[in-house]
Structure 1
């Protein structure tokens, strides 16, 4: 186990009707001018927009908007929001919606304080140093972005998708009302569940030794996601099922599970160009790559992979042999209706197109820590998923 310092910077306000506490939180930060960042229509359909405006009017807060943020948010929304903040002296950013709206809001918040092109920050050419304070109202159980400093942004002009993380991008508060997720359809529930699991697995798979406490915590979150997703698919949908998935999403990426070890994150990095190029929803793109990554990582680093796969086999799949864990995961995701092979999704893809995906994924250098994924190993992973 490695040395660490851990502090949760986000005040979590969890449960039914917790939006009523937004007034208290905005008063605490003495907000006078607020930028509301949101996606398409969900926050209006759920009544969130109306409640936010009512509370802000009550507190005499001027509200400016950056609406229409799409899934896989583009830099155009970020730049538009930054311009609004600078022009109107915004002192607080409030994001309402799923992970895309929140990630966009994080980029706007630090981009407002940054003198250069914020895309340079995502290209790791420079670093942001501060941000406007940010609060969030989450409507989807998936990304865990509500309590961490991560943000993932796309750039249509360059055809890239990149991520950064800063402690000052961590939201000051997160209102998590699982009732808002009850309207999320099956496709996105499954996408969210797989995303949660991948966040946990990306932290769990690590070369760091003797991390049993967080390892077993991780397996608890995975078991809960599988159980509650299965309940949902069996027709046992409702507040409690969604509440468990919402809480798992938050725990899955507030870093309590990974603070004691060095995580991997290769699957995420390899999946970004797939999402960007083919419009495949993030959780489903991860499922196309993950078990192929496992198989290749097992080939090159069995010392790390075997004991960790044994834990999954024992605790998640009832004593399944470690070598069969990738197959069991494929079976699980397939039962949920997801495709688990690139050969199922990209039937006519060419080697040249795969090379371009890999070049994009590795544009900032090799990825992964369990094994270092260079171009050769990335191609091996893609070929495994394609059945080549």
Structure 2
């Protein structure tokens, strides 16, 4: 059963706002690692485990909690999980030992999956012609939250200490609960089976939905490219010839935020009667152009910034298009489809970080550019292979 609701523009903008502020919880810890290491007298690599544990918690929450959106009323689930996120953030802020902080980091990650509940909610309550555009707007909020969170966290950590960032984040989430309770529409599920049947149905969708398989596989490699870049970029800019500080490197996220603003346009082009797959090829081309700029950048910060904008627009062209496509497959199973899609994407993100660091250790920035170019070409080949399969069917 679905509550009949027409989303207003203000509702979509609020969803984007909430999505960006909640997803930021996952990334606040990254600039705070040095401060945490000093307080608990740890090596920076040891303190850095909180970043991995937060991501691991997110992956677990994504797989176990997001599918429940097809089983329970989505608004209520969003409010409950956000309340748990507040408790986890307060636990981190009050941690007296590093072990407690590690446990809190896992919980913060697991309770920050609310954006992946808001996206299906927006898709479920959107008309067919507006669905892509609305998803794009919400995705813009998510991406700006990711890119801005590091700069905000670093500044707050320097001024007020690392615990203050978690306290502020808890306060923000408390405000969001009030806003979401007042403004978010209800969306009742249609799935009536057990949790075991719910989880089992995801594997049947993998088997029976070729578009889901294609979108997830392409996104896997797209996330390798984008996360490989953002991880390795820090090493490139921190070393000669640039030797930028951490604060200066963080400012490059502004360029990434500019690229994120392309998401609504991509989403609009992906909806309605348009052929969305052409946007994916545009994304591949933009990725290749950006890597060429990175390779020939030399001392030109301007060309590097242009490359960042292009690679993020390319990522939006691929990601938002694929997400819009999967939401049209089985409307009553959007949370489960999103779980499959995003789980595969975040595995790609983890692989991208590892690949980027390995390529850097082997041959520096040039080797990274070679490896990422090969990854993009592989993704194009997968795209062409599925083109033949889908059209043949």
Q: Do the two structures share a fold, i.e. TM-score over 0.5?
A: no
Task: Answer 1 or 2: higher relative contact order, Cα 8 Å, separation at least 6.
Answer: 2
The structure richer in strand per residue is 1
